[in-house]
Chain A
Amino acid sequence: MGVFDPVIELGRGLGETLRSFLFERTVTVQYPEEKRIVSPRFRGRHVLKRYDNGLEKCIGCSLCAAACPADAIFVEASENTDEKRFSPGQRFASTYEINMLRCIYCGFCEDACPTEAIVLGDNYELSFTDRRQAIYTKDLLLEPVPSVDMLTPRKVDAGVFTRSVPEMKDPSV
């Protein structure tokens, strides 16, 4: 090994730094001022979806809780009426809670959902100052509505929303 070898190596390294400084695009994102757009398959915080008419897709079937490997979801169901309707059909989730400290973002709940109500969204900004805050209740998880008259529960015409699971289409067609 020559005496100048370390100097040459140092120069090579600095050259690489200079090259990337001059010729490469910067990858650093100025978070939180700037936010990176996540991939469509990203699994962030859950969102409870609504139908276009504002009714909740969630029917309180608790299959997400059954599928959850971390036991992070708690669902309790109650009965819908046309006077006070939350979701189509007879059953809705009167309590829906996800403990985000337990959740491992595996997406099994999404797969288990028969109405595509629960979706892992793009929100990854989850930080809490105490453990209780980590429990997301139904009002935190539900998608916002575009107008006030679409809020749930609401009064609907009798006998219209009788089915919990959307009518299945013939898969062969």
Chain B
Amino acid sequence: MSKQVTLSINGISVTVPDGTLVADAAKMAGIDIPVFCHHPKLEPVGMCRMCLVEIGRPMLDRATGQVVMENGQPKIQFMPKLETACTNRVSEGMVVMTTTDKAMQGQKGTVEFLLTSHPLDCPVCDKGGECPLQDLTMAFGPGNSRFIYDEKLHLEKQVPLGELIWLDRERCIQCARCIRFQDEVAGEAVLGFDERGRNTQIVSLSDPGFDSVFSGNTTDICPVGALTTADFRFGARPWELDAQASICTQCPVGCNTTLNTRREARAGGDIVVKRVMPRQNEEVNEIWICDKGRFAYHYIESKKRLTRPLARRGKEDKLSRASWDAATKLAAQNFASAKKNFVVLASGRLANEDLFNLKSLADTAGGTAILYSDMGGGDVTALVGVGQGTNIGKMGKGDAILVVASDLYEEAPIWWLRVKQAADRGATLIVANPRETRLDKFAKFIIRYAYGDEVKTINDFGRKSKISDEFAKAKNAIVFYGNEGLGLNGSSILASACATLLKETDHIGKPNNGLVGVWQRVNDQGAWEVGFRPEPDLEKALKGKSVYIVGADPVGDSPALTKALKGAKFVAVQDILETATTETADVVFPAQAYTEREGTFTSGERRVQRFNAAVPVKGDAKPDYSIASQIARHMGIILEGTSVSVVFDILANSLDAFADLSYEKLAEVHGQWPIVGRGDLYYGGTTYENTQGLGVQLVPTAQAGETVRIPKVRKEAALRPKEKELLAVPVNKLYDRGVTTAGPAQLLDQRIGEATVTLHPSAAKNLGVEAGARVKISFDGMSNEVVVKIDDTISAGVALIPRSMGLAIREPVVAKVK
């Protein structure tokens, strides 16, 4: 434990770690020192002068260096002027006075000065009601102003900083929290100050404007209404909103969020989600979320939402409305008669309880449960996953993080942020990727391999080199592996190779050590935990079978799977939205979105977290686990279908990894630092305090003290493109065209863009095309028109195709480009 220092603030004795800032020490003791520019997650700058206090230190004798004593007490020497509490660090015996007349006068003066040009916008400002400037003016302001009204400075009021964030230049108090967040936390210096003195203004330095996936966080920490989101613009006043704890479903990080809801006339009087806000969980997302998590939720209010069960009377008939009873009975009859040919195909979009019920249904009925995923290795992460108590936010000097075959920035932005910060704190970051990614800038070692050499790269850690030495010697080491350029087989082998490396270097079974899968969906890890496994030859597994597809769109994703499903005997589809797959189904069940129900997700770090119902159910939709139980009942199988907590407790009883868990335990919270939430908006921003559960991390087999045997996966033969052919490899993109990104709100459309193919300059030259040109790419018997992008860090023989952008690519294939 670091050295502790005792000081006195307003006569109260406070003991805090050495190096703490006075403003933070006061907060720990429950004393409010008003701040604007200071933020506990950012470096101090002392720009706003709001935290002026009187600070006295014990007087030292110049000759002896001893503390001068007076009447048996150390003599305290105060500075002649006020000092800023946010830049001074505590020292032994320090005396801080925050409420003396002199200090109050300083604070009053600062507020008066900050308000000289602040417009009277509070009634129309989106921040009004949760605004630190409003609150601190009420608490510490002078009440009147000596300012000459005619000298009020007027600046531009509607400046778009990119299409997601609006800037109001008049409201800005130049605290630079947004600039510092982008520089220090996000590591993307896309904002800056322009001009000087009273005319100082925030400007975006990037093209496109505010080019960062963390831009929404600046609106949370902005202490005034200068930065607001385009999504929530004039949406509602903050006090009118209800709040419900939820989990972000966009990636495997499992960020804790709060859904703000309100009844809306525009939505026909329905209660709708008005905005998604981060909820503090220092071990998962701290107080941040990415823009996809913040803005992509609109798909839940799409016009394409399924609200009633549909069924086909005969094979040639159209889908028409059916009752729940009739629809589930129809499915049950077909599934029961299929016996061994019954297949459940579910994706990681579902909650643990849904997947558990589906798996039980498949097992009891004698069918198979298949996970709809292009990535393998979930069994390996269950063995050697990160140990319970893992917190990337605590990793630093002496630790190592290896990221392989994954562009974390595009796949799991909050992991990117935390890995980047761990590197800032001194952790050794090793990035192994075939092309340049945004993480390279912060890496100590960059390994550039050719697509296909992922496993070789990891096996090379067994040989002596500077990189492998540093990794082996690290106190703690985490490996993030993804599926960039890999299919199911490739990623399974990579997972095993990474696990072997971790085992050999003794980096398993401890907190901050282990393997993390950068999955495609929020609950892929949970699906593996309950026993779902992906199928290498999915076409064969579906042909001629009775298929129950849940939360997946194979028809929309791939023509090959469309063909396979055409050959299926019976297809039941359960989803929240109309998709290409629901159109081909024999029976369709409408499921509830995650905002309408409760349940649990398992994150990539194997943390089980609860989400809650925030808005009313659309139409007759039911939760997935409940539909599964209804079908099961018609087949003579009893599954719990009414209560999530009961399903979870059954799940916890039947799975070893979940043995210590209960539904209540997931809702437990403990104190977190920094303090954020309603009363402390000026201090930590508008991030919500976590009151509804921090979740529990599962114990990996390695930590449970059992011997770990890492499964061996056979490698498929590598593809060899012929002349005039390219190796098309899949890469992942944050803003894709998946059903859970594109919604009725066109907010993200510009960032989603068109389907692209990324080529090496020489390959592009051979084809005679330039960046931005349209080419035709053909593979697997399909051809699509795509836009060319150039990247000189890849090898000449490959073409990168983003997943979920309309091109069916699940694993590397040979392609022709024209």
Q: B234–A95 contact, CB under 8 A?
A: no
- Interchain CA distance A89-B266 in the complex, whole Å: 21
User: Is there a chain A Cβ closer than 8 Å to B120's Cβ?
Assistant: yes
In the bound complex, residues from chain A placing their C-beta under 8 Å from that of B265 are 74, 76, 94-95, 97
In the bound complex, residues from chain B placing their C-beta under 8 Å from that of A62 are 236-237, 240
Q: Which of B773-817 contact A (CB under 8 A)?
A: none
7 residue pairs, one from A and one from B, having the closest CB atoms: A61-B123, A95-B265, A91-B124, A77-B234, A170-B149, A164-B124, A114-B123
In the bound complex, residues from chain B placing their C-beta under 8 Å from that of A100 are none
**Given A62-B237, A76-B265, A90:B123 Cβ within 8 A:** no
User: Is there a chain B Cβ closer than 8 Å to A79's Cβ?
Assistant: yes
In this complex, what residue of B is CB-closest to A89? B124
Shortest C-beta distance, A158 to chain B (Å), equals: 12
Interface string of B116-141 (1 = CB under 8 A from A): 00011111100010000000000000
Shortest C-beta distance, B232 to chain A (Å), equals: 11
Interface string of B547-559 (1 = CB under 8 A from A): 0000000000000
- Interchain CA distance A40-B157 in the complex, whole Å: 39
In the bound complex, residues from chain A placing their C-beta under 8 Å from that of B148 are 170
One of B123, B128, B266 near A94 (C-beta < 8 A): B266
In the bound complex, residues from chain B placing their C-beta under 8 Å from that of A165 are 120-121, 123-124
User: Is there a chain A Cβ closer than 8 Å to B264's Cβ?
Assistant: yes
In this complex, what residue of B is CB-closest to A97? B265
Chain A: residues with Cβ within 8 Å of the partner, total of 27
In the bound complex, residues from chain B placing their C-beta under 8 Å from that of A95 are 265-266
User: Is there a chain B Cβ closer than 8 Å to A123's Cβ?
Assistant: no
In the bound complex, residues from chain B placing their C-beta under 8 Å from that of A74 are 265
A59-B123, A162-B157 known; 12 new pairs, CB 8 Å cut-off, are A60-B124, A61-B123, A61-B124, A65-B240, A77-B236, A79-B234, A90-B234, A94-B265, A97-B265, A115-B123, A165-B121, A165-B124
Shortest C-beta distance, B271 to chain A (Å), equals: 13
**Given A74-B265, A95-B265, A63:B123 Cβ within 8 A:** yes
User: Is there a chain B Cβ closer than 8 Å to A72's Cβ?
Assistant: no
Interface string of A53-71 (1 = CB under 8 A from B): 0000001111101100000
- Interchain CA distance A78-B265 in the complex, whole Å: 12
**Given A76-B264, A94-B266, A95-B265, A60:B234 Cβ within 8 A:** yes
Shortest C-beta distance, B566 to chain A (Å), equals: 47
User: Is there a chain B Cβ closer than 8 Å to A27's Cβ?
Assistant: no
- Interchain CA distance A169-B120 in the complex, whole Å: 12
A-B contact pairs, 19 of them (CB 8 A): A59-B124, A60-B124, A61-B123, A61-B124, A65-B240, A66-B237, A66-B240, A77-B234, A79-B233, A90-B157, A90-B158, A90-B234, A115-B123, A164-B121, A165-B123, A165-B124, A168-B120, A168-B149, A169-B149
In the bound complex, residues from chain A placing their C-beta under 8 Å from that of B234 are 60, 77-79, 90-91
One of B122, B124, B236 near A90 (C-beta < 8 A): B124
Chain B: residues with Cβ within 8 Å of the partner, total of 22
Chain A CB count within 10 A is highest, among B124, B149, B239, B264, for B124
Q: Which of B635-654 contact A (CB under 8 A)?
A: none
Shortest C-beta distance, B142 to chain A (Å), equals: 15
Q: B149–A66 contact, CB under 8 A?
A: no
In the bound complex, residues from chain B placing their C-beta under 8 Å from that of A89 are 124
In the bound complex, residues from chain B placing their C-beta under 8 Å from that of A97 are 265
Interface string of A144-167 (1 = CB under 8 A from B): 000000000000000000111100
- Interchain CA distance A127-B575 in the complex, whole Å: 49
In the bound complex, residues from chain B placing their C-beta under 8 Å from that of A169 are 149
Shortest C-beta distance, A155 to chain B (Å), equals: 18
Shortest C-beta distance, B99 to chain A (Å), equals: 29
In this complex, what residue of B is CB-closest to A168? B120
Shortest C-beta distance, B711 to chain A (Å), equals: 56
One of B123, B149, B150, B240 near A164 (C-beta < 8 A): B123
**Given A77-B234, A95-B266, A66:B239 Cβ within 8 A:** yes
Shortest C-beta distance, B224 to chain A (Å), equals: 16
- Interchain CA distance A74-B266 in the complex, whole Å: 12
Q: A61–B237 contact, CB under 8 A?
A: yes
In the bound complex, residues from chain A placing their C-beta under 8 Å from that of B157 are 90, 162
- Interchain CA distance A97-B266 in the complex, whole Å: 13
In this complex, what residue of A is CB-closest to B265? A95
In the bound complex, residues from chain A placing their C-beta under 8 Å from that of B239 are 66
Q: Which of B478-497 contact A (CB under 8 A)?
A: none
- Interchain CA distance A169-B152 in the complex, whole Å: 12
In the bound complex, residues from chain A placing their C-beta under 8 Å from that of B158 are 90
In the bound complex, residues from chain A placing their C-beta under 8 Å from that of B233 are 79
Q: Which of A102-156 contact B (CB under 8 A)?
A: 114-115
Interface string of B204-248 (1 = CB under 8 A from A): 000000000000000000000000000001111101100000000
- Interchain CA distance A66-B150 in the complex, whole Å: 32
- Interchain CA distance A59-B119 in the complex, whole Å: 16
In the bound complex, residues from chain A placing their C-beta under 8 Å from that of B120 are 114, 165, 168
- Interchain CA distance A83-B566 in the complex, whole Å: 52
In the bound complex, residues from chain B placing their C-beta under 8 Å from that of A61 are 123-124, 128, 237
In the bound complex, residues from chain A placing their C-beta under 8 Å from that of B149 are 168-170
In the bound complex, residues from chain A placing their C-beta under 8 Å from that of B236 are 62, 76-77
Q: B124–A76 contact, CB under 8 A?
A: no
In the bound complex, residues from chain A placing their C-beta under 8 Å from that of B150 are 170
Chain B CB count within 10 A is highest, among A63, A76, A94, for A76
In this complex, what residue of A is CB-closest to B264? A76
In the bound complex, residues from chain B placing their C-beta under 8 Å from that of A66 are 237, 239-240
In the bound complex, residues from chain A placing their C-beta under 8 Å from that of B123 are 59, 61, 63, 114-115, 164-165
Shortest C-beta distance, B200 to chain A (Å), equals: 21
In the bound complex, residues from chain B placing their C-beta under 8 Å from that of A78 are 234
In the bound complex, residues from chain B placing their C-beta under 8 Å from that of A65 are 240
In the bound complex, residues from chain B placing their C-beta under 8 Å from that of A63 are 123
- Interchain CA distance A62-B241 in the complex, whole Å: 12
- Interchain CA distance A162-B119 in the complex, whole Å: 12
- Interchain CA distance A164-B237 in the complex, whole Å: 16
In the bound complex, residues from chain B placing their C-beta under 8 Å from that of A76 are 236, 264-266
In the bound complex, residues from chain B placing their C-beta under 8 Å from that of A77 are 124, 234-236
Shortest C-beta distance, B675 to chain A (Å), equals: 26
In the bound complex, residues from chain B placing their C-beta under 8 Å from that of A91 are 124, 234
Shortest C-beta distance, A168 to chain B (Å), equals: 6
In this complex, what residue of A is CB-closest to B156? A162
Shortest C-beta distance, B525 to chain A (Å), equals: 40
In this complex, what residue of A is CB-closest to B158? A90
- Interchain CA distance A66-B239 in the complex, whole Å: 8
In the bound complex, residues from chain A placing their C-beta under 8 Å from that of B240 are 62, 65-66
- Interchain CA distance A77-B124 in the complex, whole Å: 9
Q: Which of B150-204 contact A (CB under 8 A)?
A: 150, 157-158
In this complex, what residue of A is CB-closest to B120? A165
- Interchain CA distance A164-B168 in the complex, whole Å: 14
Shortest C-beta distance, B119 to chain A (Å), equals: 8
- Interchain CA distance A94-B236 in the complex, whole Å: 12
Shortest C-beta distance, B640 to chain A (Å), equals: 39
In this complex, what residue of B is CB-closest to A114? B123
Interface string of B254-273 (1 = CB under 8 A from A): 00000000001110000000
Shortest C-beta distance, A17 to chain B (Å), equals: 58
- Interchain CA distance A130-B120 in the complex, whole Å: 41
In the bound complex, residues from chain A placing their C-beta under 8 Å from that of B128 are 61
- Interchain CA distance A164-B128 in the complex, whole Å: 14
In this complex, what residue of B is CB-closest to A62? B237
In this complex, what residue of A is CB-closest to B233? A79
Chain B CB count within 10 A is highest, among A89, A90, A114, A162, for A90
Shortest C-beta distance, A139 to chain B (Å), equals: 13
- Interchain CA distance A130-B124 in the complex, whole Å: 34
Interface string of B411-428 (1 = CB under 8 A from A): 000000000000000000
In this complex, what residue of A is CB-closest to B230? A79
Shortest C-beta distance, A72 to chain B (Å), equals: 14
- Interchain CA distance A163-B120 in the complex, whole Å: 9
In this complex, what residue of B is CB-closest to A166? B120
- Interchain CA distance A59-B235 in the complex, whole Å: 13
- Interchain CA distance A79-B157 in the complex, whole Å: 13
